[in-house]
Amino acid sequence: MSVTLGIDIGTSGTKTLAIDATGTILASATANYPCDYPKPGWSEQHPELWWNATIQTIQQVMARANLKGEEIKGIGLSGQMHGSVFLDQSGRVIRPALLWNDQRTAAECAEIEEKVGGREALVRLVANPALTGFTAPKLLWVRRHEPAHWERVRQVLLPKDYIRYRLSGTFATEVSDASGTLMLDVANRRWSYELLGKLDLDPALLPACYESVEVSAQVSASAASETGLAAGTPIVGGGGDQPAGAIGNGIVRPGVVSATMGTSGVVFAHTSELGFDPLGRLQRGCHAVPGAYHVMGVVLSAGGSFQWFREEMADSEAHAGREHQVDPYELLTREAALAPPGCEGLVFLPYLTGERTPHFDPDARGGWIGLTVRHDRTHLIRAILEGVTFAMRDSLELIRAMGTEIREIRVSGGGAKSDLWRSIQANVYGCDVAIPNSTEGPAFGVALLAQVGAARSFNTIEEACDATIKTVDSTAVDPKVRKVYDQVYAVYRDLYPALRESNHRLAEIARATTSV
């Protein structure tokens, strides 16, 4: 049967998997790497880490599935959205990539909106406001603050598209990932030359743009020798990690919404029409389904908040996990389950790297609110899980308010692995949550895209998803717990505006004292 690879370039690691035409996963592999935070609010990674991880995981998958290069009929690429890879005339990386959660570009975002004539005018051009994580403000930042680097820039790529370049020597992207650059005319699924002109950005800096299922490149002879793939293997457009993950969860028709907890958290809904919101409160873009669109809300530190706690405050769990081969997150969620819903009035704000939806505030700050001497570690941990889920509900409420039908919520990522966190999600969202049979997210989604566009196993993405994806379990709402969470959520909603000014002052102090 036709075998395709899905490769997902994540923030903390790269995952590669192989599937056949039934959607059966033949093998998978993951290679992890670090992220750098040179200054408060900054987030960077060197693209060579992604390439090394890609080579390693491709070789591992082929070995584990006993595959030869010529047996692989297509490759799909996914990756963290919004990141900026700057290449020189020779295709060499000029500086580390600025990532999706990098918050240094507030001034550039204001500049973009000013040059266009305000937020509403910008949303009409590219469907979104200027957000600090997006790609366009990063280009302006490098141009302003690193002119020597900027003089050398000849091509700007998104993370997954840098891997496409290394695999093929071809500069290309596709519409779902390009939607998050702030430079795509989303309604017409092409680069916005009007906006590029207003920002004095050369369109030649940007690659050719394809639909997600279109073949965009072929594996080169040099990449074949490094990876074990066959030269000429077709590479489809693929997708940004969120649209690709939505494919992997079967979010290809209206009414089914996904809630994904990775490093970031995303609430994602399929739409047939792009729609318009002058405030740009939800991120809008092209779906990986040709002709379709999506709306999504993004929590910047969802699983990232839990990861921060594990790394900074859970040494004993990490050690026990290594010693007894137990996931340290499982140990932490067992502890969290000992605390009651609502954590006796303790609330966690998950704004550890600022926040996107609904606040658009790079200087938002996190923390526990409501601490008393009764609270212990169980409350602290559970409050993180609840606080992240409240942040996800913010996006869900906006999607409901715009009239989008929600018949089913499918959960995935780290938040779907825990019985406790699934229960928290159902009761915070006020809706039963379902678990799809595929848990591999973006990598599985782009492997399916390759089955459609390269292997030709299916005629459409919808047909591929219908054949390979189904829900296998669900978690129901408990009315009593839901009532508690509704009460706590109302308080949670009040905390950001109450603390906004103080948090901005603290952020200014942090920037001023970093080098003291």
Q: Is residue 436 part of a domain?
A: no
Say yes or no to pLDDT of 415 above 90.
no
* Domain at 39, CATH number: 3.30.420.40
Q: Is residue 485 part of a domain?
A: yes
* Helix or strand run (H / E) with residue 412: strand 406-413
Same domain? 174 vs 71: yes
Residue 324: other Cβ atoms inside 10 A: 8
Same domain? 333 vs 397: yes
Whether 81 has a binding-site annotation, put simply, is yes
484 phi, psi to nearest 5 deg: -60, -45
User: Which residue has 């409160």 as its token pair?
Assistant: 281
Same domain? 66 vs 155: yes
Same domain? 323 vs 390: yes
Residues 6+ apart with CB under 8 A from 320: 326, 328, 331
Same domain? 28 vs 152: yes
Strands 97-98 and 44-45 come out as antiparallel
For 204-219, what is each residue's pLDDT tens digit? 999 999 999 999 999 9
Residue 439: per-residue pLDDT: 77
Q: Is residue 284 part of a domain?
A: no
* Helix or strand run (H / E) with residue 390: helix 377-401
Residue 501: per-residue pLDDT: 97
Mean pLDDT of the chain: 94
Given 241, 361, 363, 394, the catalytic residue: 241
40 confidence band (pLDDT: 50, 70, 90): confident
Same domain? 468 vs 491: no
Same domain? 206 vs 230: yes
C-alpha span between 188 and 185 (Å, rounded) = 6
Reference 31, options 163, 215, 229; nearest CA is 163
Residue 321: per-residue pLDDT: 60
C-alpha span between 320 and 502 (Å, rounded) = 39
Q: Is residue 143 part of a domain?
A: yes
Q: Is residue 154 part of a domain?
A: yes
| Range from 272-276, 294-298, 436-440 that averages highest in pLDDT | 294-298
C-alpha span between 191 and 207 (Å, rounded) = 10
Same domain? 131 vs 184: yes
Strands 433-436 and 471-475 come out as antiparallel
Residue 155: per-residue pLDDT: 98
Residue 35: per-residue pLDDT: 94
504 confidence band (pLDDT: 50, 70, 90): very high
CB-count exposure of residue 217 (10 Å: 0-12, 13-18, 19+): buried
For 320-347, what is each residue's pLDDT tens digit? 666 667 788 999 999 999 999 999 999 9
Say yes or no to pLDDT of 319 above 80.
no
CB-count exposure of residue 494 (10 Å: 0-12, 13-18, 19+): exposed
Same domain? 59 vs 168: yes
- For the entire predicted model, the pTM comes to 0.85
Range of weakest confidence among 38-52, 81-95, 321-335? 321-335
Same domain? 124 vs 158: yes
SS3 assignment, position 473: strand
Q: Is residue 516 part of a domain?
A: no
Q: Is residue 262 part of a domain?
A: no
Strands 172-174 and 208-210 come out as parallel
Same domain? 122 vs 243: yes
**In the beta sheet, which residues pair with residue 94?**
none
Whether 296 has a binding-site annotation, put simply, is no
Q: Is residue 259 part of a domain?
A: no
Name residue 362's amino acid: P
For 387-412, what is each residue's pLDDT tens digit? 999 999 999 999 998 888 888 899 98
Average pLDDT of 491-508? Answer: 96
Same domain? 231 vs 335: no
- Please report, for residues 29, 59, 99, 442, the alpha-carbon distance to residue 52 in angstroms, rounded to integers and kept in the order given: 13, 11, 18, 19
Give the up-direction half-sphere exposure of residue 465: CA atoms within 13 A in the CB hemisphere.
22
Q: Is 432 in the active site?
A: no
Say yes or no to pLDDT of 317 above 80.
no
* Helix or strand run (H / E) with residue 72: strand 72-79
**In the beta sheet, which residues pair with residue 296?**
268, 283
Strand segments (E) across 252-337: 255-261, 265-271, 283-286, 293-299
Say how many domains are in the chain.
2
Name residue 415's amino acid: G
Percent of the chain with pLDDT over 90: 83
Range of weakest confidence among 254-258, 368-372, 493-497? 254-258
Residues of the domain holding 381: 301-404+478-510
Strand segments (E) across 198-274: 208-210, 215-218, 234-236, 239-240, 255-261, 265-271
